[in-house]
Amino acid sequence: MEDDKILREIMIDVMNQAIEVSPTSYMRDDNCVIHMGMKISYDPARGVRVYDTTKGGANYIEIEPVDYMSLMTHGWVTGVRIIKVKTYMERIDMLTEMIKEAIADGARLVTVTNLKNRRAELTTAYADAKHKLNTISHEESN
């Protein structure tokens, strides 16, 4: 029970970090912040919840427990970047598999090209996010 209280307090601190880092994206009515595709919200009954706005269409998907650990360990800014890097890598892997399947199924060249182009875009976004994460990690270590 005490552990739950501590985790709840840590996540409230993360919520406050999000508000501090992105005050212009704080929505008072919904008590939430949307930053870099992540939505963090607070409800007194449910506590702090974090959703990936790039997953789930109209109904955002709540992040995994391991992602909550990243936020609690590294804080809002670094935690979000860690989650984004992981998400980009998952999508790149998924697109690589889709490309393999499309080629094996004899898909049209335009289909394979579109998949490859999307993978290239995500690879660029991944490299940028990874660079920013490394920069933050380097600054924190100095």
Q: Are 130 and 72 in contact (CB under 8 A)?
A: no
pLDDT given at position 142: 52
Overall size of the chain counted in residues: 142
CA distances from 136 to 78, 96, 133 (A): 7, 29, 5
Quote the mean pLDDT of the chain: 90
Closest CA to 42 of 31, 28, 51, 27: 31
Evaluate whether 60 touches 52 at the Cβ level (below 8 Å): yes
Residue 7, CA distances (Å) to 13, 49, 68, 73, 109 in order: 10, 12, 10, 11, 50
- What are 41-63's pLDDT values in tens digits? 998 888 999 999 988 877 899 99
Number of domains in the chain: 1
The residue range of the domain holding 55 is 2-141
Give the pLDDT band (50/70/90) at residue 140: low
pTM above 0.75, yes or no: yes
